Amino acid sequence: MEEEPRIGVFVCNCGINIGGVVNVEEVAEYATTLPNVVVSRSSLYTCSDRGQGMIKDDIDEFKLNRVIVASCSPRMHEPTFRKVIEEKGLNKYVFEQANLREHVSWVHSKQPEEATKKAKDLVRMAVAKARLLESLPQHLVDVKGEALVIGGGISGLTAAKSIADRGFKVHLVEKTPNFGGKMAQLYKVFPTFDDPQELLNPLVEDIMAHPNITPYLSAEIADIEGYIGNYRAIIREQTEEKEIEFGTIIVATGFNAYDPNGEFKYGKHQNILTAMELHQLMRADGPTQGNLVTPAEGKPPRSIALISCVGSRQNENTVPEGKKPNAYCSRVCCTGMIATGMEIKEKSPDADIFVLYRDLRTHGKGHEELFTEFRQTGSTMIRYTDDQLPMISSTQGAEYPLSVTSYDSLSGLNVEIPVDLVVLATGMIPDDSASNIASKLHITISADGFFQELHPKLAPLDSVTDGVYLAGTAQGPKDVPDSVSQSLGAAAKACAPMALGQVEVESTIAVIDEDFCTGCGVCQGSCEFSAIVFEERDEGKKVSKVIEALCKGCGTCGSSCPSAAITMLHFKDAQLDAMVKAALTPQAGEK
Amino acid sequence: MVEAKEMINETECETKFEPKLIGFLCNWCSYAGADLAGTSRVQYPPNIRIVRVMCTGRLDPQLILNTFRYGADGVLIAGCHEGDCHYIGGNYRAYRKYILLKEFVKKMGINEKRLRLEWVSASEGERFAKVVREMVDDIKEIGPSPFGVTTTGGVVEDEPEPKI
Ligand SMILES: Cc1cc2nc3c(=O)[nH]c(=O)nc-3n(C[C@H](O)[C@H](O)[C@H](O)COP(=O)(O)OP(=O)(O)OC[C@H]3O[C@@H](n4cnc5c(N)ncnc54)[C@H](O)[C@@H]3O)c2cc1C
Ligand code: SF4
Ligand code: SF4
Ligand code: SF4
Ligand code: FES
């Protein structure tokens, strides 16, 4: 026999985040009028130790067999509260969360009455579902102790080595013929002015010699499928294809430099360069063996303008027609520009440097100090505004080949600067392969085009897919120290399930009732994961069966079966129906 | 005098029709988008009650029809953009069901504006709010659902008595 539901409802104030708008006491009071609710309380922070303790105590005292927390989004704290009730011996699927913060108090902050009413509705819906919740069996899957790292820039290299050093096998796939990514193309890296090769070479040597790492160069992921613990991919290395199996994935596909074509006369004069091009020009293995000379004349530059925020922090006014504005800050170009200024001064001490900036963001450790040092060089700082971008014109026949005019909001004057060289501090955009990788791995991309983390504060290294982690600039603009920290973190995250050898996956899968199944096969055609197969029964009857490990619980088969033979665990027809009914007919839900 | 007062109350009642909307949102994109509307403090009318499903592919036409039967003035189905479905093609299958559902709903005598499907990504908090605002405005214009158990009003003109 089914035991009678005994529901506890815990309504959270979330400090003043919910309580400042919704009358939390009233909602908690109201919950006691709902069927099967045996206790209902409010608390200041339900996720705190105290709040969790309250839930645990009530589970004991009131013999609760269902728990509802009405608080923030389940996308944030469902795992937290599930763990709390599991500690008290309840199955994690008898937990339900009502979202009173993201879906109520924060979006109806000026309508406290309506917000309170809506909060009660959401609690009533949660109770309606909770009454029908069931304990589900735990599903464990084995995790193969091998990882795939996509991208061999500093981020991918760091993550690969870190995982391999812990004793797991790593497949490191880089699409170009060389490891090192963009860092390998730089002249020097701030804030320490190291030669990037000196940092990268020992790392790459370690990687190539590491017994646990299989490197793939000029390679791509031709195909990939599976789920946490059990992935399979085909790697295409030049003409060869190889099939590999692994348990976790690190995405370290990095960034591309913004292409300023059509902006600031880029492409119209040889002496207008991007920051990346200037780095290449200054390198000992560059076209002029590291001599800093202007591309057009081959002479040392006397006067140089550096322009910030090219391709970053754009808005409708500053973005060239037909392009989508990149609203974000690329986070490395300011300090990069300052560092470049100092490197130029080192090579050509007499050159005059003009820095045209919008805001100077030297946020990293040691960056502001670098800026203070740069100011000792006596270079000129000009602050331009986003409604009057600096203009560049070529001045044939004049003493200097280029001229930059700009409004300077510091002095309030329009200035005109004759220069030999213009350097555009171009920002970062995601690698071209990002959207392809995203759809292959079922991970998401944020509005800026970079991969989206599961939660910006609490889960910055996780993607939305279990077993897939994000490292470095693939997730958003970063300098090398930040890329390395994030990669070490992502590596540690990937190692956790591999070290355990098994992980629990969601039990919310599809189940087919053989008695109702007519063997029509419609469900098999609707499943994107080939998780349903035919099985023969006596008398040659064919029925469909779900392969548990392959089912992702999307529910698509369930809504397609003409015989209503498929049940979606935890999202059953009856459960959803009860929620809708409760939402629309208040009296139906009350005691 | 008393009469006049009642008249005012009545007109107040009429303008105070607050549509009840049910939103079925997929966990990965649209529910996250609605969360983002919250995190960014975007304001929208409090008329919608959201039911989380893992994917729009889960949505059974029967559930949507029941939702109207229980008196929803509008139903919003929101999922991931084309190519972004966490389960590859659940949204595409949802779209095919939606096309059929629209026809069916019309035959039931329900104004088709009451059923809307939108693709809302996890980064489109503002757009989610906009969709809700638009839907609330649209439905305020066409009035309560003919199935509405939550409203006292009779049947709206362009919507004949439903037959099911
Ligand atoms: C002009 C400029 C100057 C800079 N100066 C500094 C500095 O002085 N100091 C500092 O700390 N930082 C600096 N940076 C930032 C620094 O370059 C980055 O932090 C760093 O390169 C990020 O490394 P990554 O591995 O994340 O990305 P990347 O270097 O972009 O590496 C990604 C790698 O993945 C590969 N890849 C991409 N997609 C795939 C795929 N689908 N399959 C296989 N492989 C793939 C790419 O080919 C690449 O090798 C600067 C950046 C710029 C633009
Ligand atoms: S780091 Fe500086 S130059 Fe780069 S986008 Fe940010 S503010 Fe602009
Ligand atoms: S769609 Fe339903 S009846 Fe048809 S094979 Fe699948 S489970 Fe059986
Ligand atoms: S729930 Fe989704 S993944 Fe599972 S069997 Fe059904 S269609 Fe396939
Ligand atoms: S997961 Fe969003 S529509 Fe399928």
Q: How does pLDDT run across B100-134, given as a tens digit for each residue?
A: 999 999 998 899 999 999 999 998 999 999 999 99
pLDDT score at A487: 98
Would you call the peptide bond into A191 cis, given omega within 30 degrees of 0 as the criterion?
A: yes
A410 CA distance to ligand 3 middle (Å): 72
Q: Which atom of ligand 1 is nearest to the CA of A428?
A: 53
Encode pLDDT of A246-267 as tens digits. Answer: 999 999 999 999 999 989 999 9
Q: Cα separation of A464 and A458, whole Å?
A: 13
Average pLDDT estimate for A312-335: 93
Of A121, A556, A559, which has the smallest distance from its Cβ to B87's Cβ?
Answer: A556
Mean pLDDT (chain A) is 95
ipTM over 0.90: no
> Do A196 and A181 meet the contact criterion of CB atoms below 8 Å apart?
no
**A111 contacts B39? CB cut-off 8 A:** no
Distances (CA, A) of A106 to A18, B41, B44: 8, 5, 10
Q: Which ligand 2 atom is at minimum distance from the Cα of A334?
A: 2
The band of A529, judged by pLDDT with boundaries at 50, 70 and 90, is confident
Q: Which of A76, A559, A579 sits opposite B51 (nearest CB)?
A: A579
Provide the pLDDT for residue B149. Answer: 52
> Are the beta carbons of B53 and A571 separated by less than 8 Å?
yes
pLDDT at B9 over 50: no
What is the structure's pLDDT at A104? Answer: 98
Q: Which ligand is nearest to the CA of A523?
A: 3
Strand, coil or helix: A280: helix
Return the pLDDT at A591: 61
Q: Do B87 and A529 touch (CB under 8 A)?
A: yes
Is residue A521 in contact with ligand 3, taking CB distance under 6 Å?
yes
Among A114, A444, A571, the residue with its CB nearest the CB of B84 is: A444
Q: Is the pLDDT of residue B12 over 50?
A: no
Confidence of residue B83 (pLDDT cuts 50, 70, 90): confident
Are the C-beta atoms of A5 and A65 separated by less than 8 Å?
yes
The pLDDT score that the predictor gives to residue B82 is 86
B159 — pLDDT class (breaks 50, 70, 90): very low
Give me ligand 5 centre to Cα A112, in Å.
32
Going by pLDDT thresholds of 50, 70 and 90, the confidence category of residue A587 is: low
Nearest C-alpha of chain B: how many angstroms from A447?
A: 6
- A527, two tokens: 């499943």
Distance between Cα A564 and ligand 3 center (Å): 8
Give me A349's structure tokens.
């001490």
In A, minimum Cα distance to B57 occurs at: A556
User: Residue A365 in contact with residue A481, Cβ under 8 Å?
Assistant: yes
Nearby residues of B91 by Cβ (< 8 Å), 6 or more positions away = B26, B55, B56, B57, B79, B80, B81, B82, B84, B85, B119
* Type and span of the H or E element at A432: none
Residue at token pair 């991309």: A445
Are the CB atoms for A177 and A217 separated by under 8 Å? yes
Torsion of CA A311, A316, A318, A324, to 10 degrees: 30
* pLDDT for the residue B148: 67
User: How confident is the model over A388-401, as a mean pLDDT?
Assistant: 94
Quick check: A128 and A578 in contact, CB under 8 A? yes
Paired strand residues for A235: A221, A242
Contact check, Cβ <8 Å, A583/B49: yes
Confidence of residue A173 (pLDDT cuts 50, 70, 90): very high
The DSSP bridge pattern shows strands A272-274 and A421-426 to be parallel
Strand order in the sheet with A272-274: A272-274, A421-426, A303-310, A352-357, A380-383
Asked if residue B79 has its Cβ within 6 Å of ligand 5, the reply is yes
Q: What is the pLDDT of residue A590?
A: 62
- The reported pTM is 0.79
Give mean pLDDT, residues A468-484: 98
- d(Cα A525, Cα A510) in Å, to the nearest integer? 15
Q: Are strands B74-79 and B115-119 parallel, antiparallel or unpaired?
A: parallel
Residues contacting residue B119 through CB under 8 Å, at least 6 positions apart: B29, B30, B78, B79, B80, B81, B82, B84, B91
**pLDDT tens track for A421-455:** 999 999 999 999 999 999 888 888 888 999 989 88
Helices (H), A131-265: 154-165, 196-209
User: Residue A397's pLDDT is what?
Assistant: 86
Q: How confident is the model at residue A530 (pLDDT cuts 50, 70, 90)?
A: confident
Distance, in Å, from the CA atom of B103 to the CA atom of B57, rounded to the nearest integer, reads: 19
Of how many residues is chain B composed?
Answer: 164
Task: Output the CA–CA distances (angstroms, integers) from residue A332 to A280, A372, A425, A473, B123, in the order listed.
Answer: 17, 17, 9, 11, 24
Burial string for A74-96 (b: 16+ CB within 10 Å, else e) reads bbbbbebbbebbeeeebbbbbbb
Joined together, the tokens standing for residue A540 give 């040659």
In this predicted model, what pLDDT tens digit does every residue of A38-92 receive, in sequence order? 999 999 999 999 999 999 999 999 999 999 999 999 998 999 999 999 999 999 9
pLDDT score for A582: 96
The CA distance from A280 to B103, in Å, is 62
Residues from chain B that touch A117, judged by Cβ atoms under 8 A, are 46
pLDDT (average), residues A511-526:
95
Percent of chain A with pLDDT over 70: 99
Most confident of A297-311, A435-449, A531-545: A297-311
- Rounded to whole angstroms, how far apart are CA atoms B160 and A89? 54
Measured CA to CA, the distance from residue B133 to residue B114 in angstroms comes to: 13
Question: For residue A585, is pLDDT > 70?
Answer: yes
Candidates B34, B41, B59; nearest CB to A109 = B41
**What are A330-354's pLDDT values in tens digits?**
999 999 999 999 999 999 999 999 9
Return the pLDDT at A418: 97
CB atoms near residue B94 (< 10 Å): 26
φ, ψ dihedrals at A585, nearest 5° = -130, 85
Angle, alpha carbons B157-B159-B164 (nearest 5°) = 145
Distance CA B121, CA B85 (A): 10
Contact B63 A580 (CB under 8 A): yes
* Mean per-residue pLDDT, A323-332: 94
Residue with the larger pLDDT of the pair A505 and A193: A193
Q: Is the pLDDT of residue B52 over 80?
A: yes
Q: State the smallest CA–CA distance between residue B157 and chain A in angstroms.
A: 23
